[in-house]
Amino acid sequence: MKIVGADVIPVSRGTKTLKDAVDAAFEAYLEDPITQLYAIGSVVGPHPFPMMVRDFQAVVGIEARKQFEEMTGGLPDNLVACVGGGSNAIGLFTAFLDDEDVTIYGVEPSGLSLKDGEHAATLTLGKPGVLHGFNSYLLQDNAGEPLPVYSVASGLDYPSVGPQHSLLKDMERVTYVMANDREALDAFFELSRVEGIIPALESAHAVAYATKLAKTLDSDKTILVNLSGRGDKDIDYVVETYGKEYGID
């Protein structure tokens, strides 16, 4: 971000997670909405932000569909993508929603456990509620306030989710499942070692679920996994914190 000229201001309030960053960004925008532009990095916030981000991100799904057809002569049997706010997932899914034979999975972080504050499995454990100007599934307390959330992948720790994912869940078009911190870390090291591809910790949740899913499928079935980001940003943290457990001094 700095290389391309941005001033990066870390969020210092609340639990210092994505929700607090979105709160701070909205507040800054509302102070001067004439000369400032609000650009959100996920399919969240009031209309038209979820739609705009979905449409931009769908470029990835359209291209992935084309490349997959060129490589295999058909469509994938399964799609798997991680879900934080939900932008990389909806970007992939959009190109395949009308293809009934394609089974679609969104993977949420179950973190350390399913106790409040130790995960961010919004679609699995949340209830309908409003946050940041949109109505969707929300991890919330009895008063409707967002619950604290956690994942080893900082990009997944958001207590709500893009509203279209809520619709796709209710329509039963997409199945939302979970991967925990340990499964994501295992997948992070496995993909790095086997393929030489270091996935972002967020994407490692999709890799973890795809690995589990593959074991249940016939060997002629295919899975398209969305690698939403590279692990360069995570590698120092992962090696410092978990390296020993994975045989790295």
Ligand X SMILES: Cc1ncc(COP(=O)(O)O)c(C=O)c1O
Cβ atoms of residues 123 and 136 within 8 Å: no
CB of 83 to ligand X, least distance (A): 5
Cβ atoms of residues 185 and 242 within 8 Å: yes
Q: What residues line the site for ligand X (CB under 6 A)?
A: 42, 82-89, 155-156, 200, 202-203, 228-229
Measured from the CB atom, is 92 or 102 closer to ligand X? 92
Instruction: Collect all residues with Cβ–Cβ distance below 8 Å to 69 and sequence separation of at least 6.
Output: 75
Measured from the CB atom, is 31 or 110 closer to ligand X? 110
Measured from the CB atom, is 4 or 143 closer to ligand X? 4
Measured from the CB atom, is 183 or 202 closer to ligand X? 202
CB of 22 to ligand X, least distance (A): 11
CB of 107 to ligand X, least distance (A): 10
CB of 152 to ligand X, least distance (A): 13
Where b means 16+ CB within 10 Å and e means fewer, 140-163 reads beeeeebbbbbbbbbbbbbbbbbb
Query: Can you point out the beta strands (E) in the chain?
Result: 78-82, 103-111, 127-131, 134-138, 174-180, 223-225
